[in-house]
Every structure is written in structure tokens, then in C-alpha cells.
Structure 1
Amino acid sequence: MTAVLEATGLTVVHRTRSGPLHAVSDVDLTLHRHRTLALVGESGSGKSSIARALLHLPPPTAGTVTLDGTDLAALTPRALRTLRPRLQMVFQDPLSSLNPRRRVRDLVAEPLDAHPRPGTDREATVHRQLEAVGLPASFADRHPGQLSGGQAQRVALARALTAEPRVLIADEAVSALDVSAQATVLNLLRRLTEERGLAGLFISHDLGVVRAVSDEVAVLQLGRICERGPTEEVLAAPAHPYTRALLAAVPEPGRPLGDTGLLPTDPPSPLDPPSGCRFRTRCPLADDRCATETPPLLPVSPTRTVACHRPLLDRQP
């Protein structure tokens, strides 16, 4: 597999009035062509902070990010601006990311306006990208207010594709959509990643959704990756108690919503994370060692790594 984007030791610390907030701590990620990595965790786990750090908006507090072997931190501001089209992001609320006063044709063509490519047919490019996301060319004359949520998200995706990216980051890109629109956008993301050789990062709080779009999943808990591996393998038999709890929280017929019994308390504040394992204050398996030793991310199989002193190996959720 060809590595497109690599992050090593990624750390993000926000300075607040209450002190340093450790949003991301020593995270390693690798994105490959034709494949999508899902980054999953509760709200406040650091998922969006990782996305912004990968884009260098702003740069991470520590660690390195390389795109096709180029260290982003070593680039001048002008060189970084030139490289930015290769890194595209699709946001949670499409309507908030689309200028309501502009027509769809101008929105989709924004990357061409910002980074002109000589000899490019603007109108033909707009129509081609709209077709790629399943919208007719007639939509080019519409304004965002005339679009449904799913249509607006497809326009946002078409705009990202116009930049001819190497990496596509989708940050909660379907959480604001209804079920049918979610399915459409998820299928588009999967197909376009494979057909165009993109390296995808899909960010979500919902383990039930990532099965449809990702090849691998990395589970983020309070700024640290606690489990990573092939999506089907992780979802079939989660090895970390936190992954198991997230999977148990996915609604199922016959079970009351929220009745998981596995996450009885809110997550600790990243302003004051627990010592040792950051999940220990909510973990039913925690012991004295968990309070004093931070579990390293170690392989538990040829394809999976887990950061847990007592991984749930060969146990079903």
C-alpha cells in the first residue's frame, strides 16, 4: 500500500484560561491510497483537533505531518498554500460551509479560482464534478438554500474534488443528515476514494456508521488511540473496554436507547486527565496498575494494536 499522509507523535495542546488542555497526545496515523481510516470517539476525544493539525490549521504543538514525503512544517507559508489543495475537508454542516449568496457552479469552482490551472475548462469541470457526486448539471444554477442537506453535502464534496486532492477528510460529514442521505453520502465517499485513489480519513462518533465506509478504524479516547485495526475485525470483537462500550452504545432493536451500562459517567476533562490509563475511571476492569502505568499501544495480533493492560482478547461485546 502507498502511504500518502503520515503523522508521527502528533500532539495538540490548547492554551486556555484554566490551563493547558491536552486535546491530542502522541498519536501516529498513516493514510493510504484507495483506503479510508475511520477515527472514532466520543465528543471531546480530540478527533477534530487531529483533523485540523493534519491540515496545519494550526500546526500541531508537537509531532510531524508528511504528505507524499514532504514535511509540512518545513514548508514556507507560500509553499504550504500551494500544497493545500491536496488536503481537502468536508464538514459536518454543509450549509454552513457554503456561501448562501453564490450559485453552485461558483461554489464547486472555488478551488480553481483560488489555485488556477491553465487550460482548465471551468464549466466542464463543474459539470464533471457534479456528475461524480450524482447531481445533474442543472444544479449549477441553484443556491445552497434550494438544496436539501444531502444535496448540499454532495455539492461540498464536489467542491473538494475540484481541487484534485490526495487526501479527503470527512469530519462528521453525515451526522446532520437523515438516514437515506447518509447512505448516499457514505456510498459516494467509499466509491470516490477507491476510484480516484484518495487517502480518506472519516471522523465519527458512531461505530455503526464507520462499517459502511472505512477499511480500518482507530478508536480515540481522551486524545490517545486505544485500539486500531481492520474495521470488521475491531467491530466483530473489540479488544479495548472503551471500544466495547462504544459498540454497545449503537442502538439495537429491543434495547432502550442509552441502556448500555458500560459508560456510566461522563468522560474526564482533558484539562485534568486521569493518571495512567485515561479510561480507568470508567473501566470495569481497572486495577491498581491502570492508575500508575500508561498502557502502550502494542500489537495483539498481526493486524491489530491495543493500549490496554487487560485487553478483551477473544471476547465478544
Structure 2
Amino acid sequence: MSNPRPSHPSPAPTLRDVAEAAGVHTATASRALNPKTRQQISAETARRVMRAARALGYQPNSVARSLKTSRTGTVGLVIPDLTNPLFPPIVRGVESVLEPGGYNVWIVNTDNDEERERAQIDSLRSRQVEGLIIATARLDHPLLRHLHEQGVRMVLINRQVENLRVPAVTGDDVTGVAAAVHHLAALGHTRIAHLSGPLSTSTGRARARAFRHAVRDHGLPDDLMPECAHWSESDGATAMRNLLDRSPGVTAVVAGNDLIALGCYDVFAERGLSCPDDVSVIGFNDMPFLDKLRPPLTTVAVPHHELGAEAARMLLDTLDTPDRPARSILLPVSLVVRGSTAAPRTD
């Protein structure tokens, strides 16, 4: 009895196979399968080619394409803390623009650690990403300066670096903080504190500066501004405890972000304080589920999805026109008044 011949897998279908099955030239098939060039051919031809590719099980060779075109169709997105609820909408905004443009997004998390950030960006660059969208910038950021000097295409999101001409998209922090202070002052608060984010970040610095200007404009003291080491609930709680111990007359707080504001809620529970009867609180960002808190948190809403989408558009512009001058975009914010703010006690 003879042994059966070993079976050999069929060779993977090629672009030429797809073109023949669709009845088009190979170059036409290539354009149809590339989202960036698909609009150059008729919609019916594109559909016919894509149907043929699916029927044959064709998978484009992205490595070969990148060697030929020097384009990889990938972008790196550098996030400081994926557990922070404000970043998923930013990620979705980035993807909503890049994916239809034919780009895949590599997402890395730095945990706000400089060495991890360097290693993660090195890893992205080893994968030949065409550009970076970065949400981790500090005011003084040597790594970003080095990348900029090397010609790496970058867009900063929700952050800026001093004296570095890199495109950036941020929310209008100044207007948001001014609206928060005005709201509290109009309710009758005269001892308003600011629990700032890290002053080593452009966001922390901008919001703290805006708070100082806003309370001065209302003739209120500007010395109630403890700094949080991190944009976190635990650091917000620590700062709030210290504030209450040192300045017991405070009746309202503008927190650097919503997580810091949540830390205030923790301290109120510890000390038997009522919000807003004893202390009013305003956050910043309008993270999901803040309306489910008790009391629901008054906060400054930032359009995070649009921040991500606009950063992606700016990066595509930079990739298509490398000599385009760097520009910054400021997106509007709005105060969302909920149950955590009220007039101070009069007794």
C-alpha cells in the first residue's frame, strides 16, 4: 500500500490574482485596496476588487508596501495613564480620523514614567510609525525636543512644551477656570481654593495661572492653591486634607481635574462634611458617570473626542505637508452645573 503524498498548502493569493479575478489591471487593484487611493477609481470597480480579494482570502503585504513607498500606514499614540477615563474618548477621536484615512494606531501607555515613555516611543519608532500623537508632555521635556530635532512628526494633545514649535490641540483652560470661579463667586463664596494639577505640566500651570487671575478679578484671595503631585484621586484627597487643616474657612474648591475632585469627595466622607452645604466642588474634564455621583459633580466639560480627532487631522496635515508651520488649536469648553455647588452656609 503506497503512502499518500503529503499535501502542500496552496500559495497565498497575490495582488495579480485579485486583479485577474476582478478583471482589472494590477495597478487598479492596488489602488482599490488602499484606502488612501481608493477614491481615484470608480466606486463600482473598487467594490468589485474588494469582493474578489475577500473571495480569494487576499491579505495585503504591508511590509512590502512600506518598503516600496516608505509609508507604513501606522501612527503611535502615547498616553500617560490608560486608567484615566478622559483618555478613551481621545483615543476614539484619533481612530475616527486615522482609520478612514488608511492608518492603524499603535497605543502605548507610559504610566507617567520617563524611562517607560522613552522605551515605548523607541518601540514605536522601531515599528516605523509615520508620526506620533503625544499626550504626556511636560513643560520641560528633553525627549520631545530630541525627537523634534530628529524630524519626527508629532502633535501634542492636551499638553504643550515651552519654546518648542510642535502642533498642539488643547481645551480652553483659561475660559473654563474663569467660568468655574465666576460661578462660585456669584453664589457668594469668598474663600475659594484651587487644588492644582502638577505644575510641571502645561495643563497644571495654565489652570493654576487662570485661577489666580480669576480670583483676583473678583477681589478674592489668591493664596489658596495647593499643588497635587499627580492628576489622581489619592493626590486630590491628600491636598484636600492639608487644605482643610491649614485653611478651615474654605467654602469652595476648583479642582485641577475630575479625579482630584473625587479625592475631595473621599475627604468629605472621612470628616463628615456635606457637599455642597459645607464645601462646594468643581471638577474639570466632565468624565463619564459624574452625574451618577452623590452629589453629581459640577465640572468644566472638555470635548475630548474632538481633541483626539483634531490632533489626528493635524498629524495628517503634517505628514502630507511637512513644511507646514506648526500651529496650536484651542477648543471651546463649557461649565456643566450639577449638584456639587451651592451658596455657602450663612449660619
Same fold by TM-score greater than 0.5: no
TM-score, normalization by structure 2: 0.25
| Structure with the larger helix share | 2
Q: Which has the higher contact order (CA 8 A, sep 6+)?
A: 1
TM-score, normalization by structure 1: 0.27
When Rg is computed on C-alpha atoms for both structures, the one with the higher figure is 2
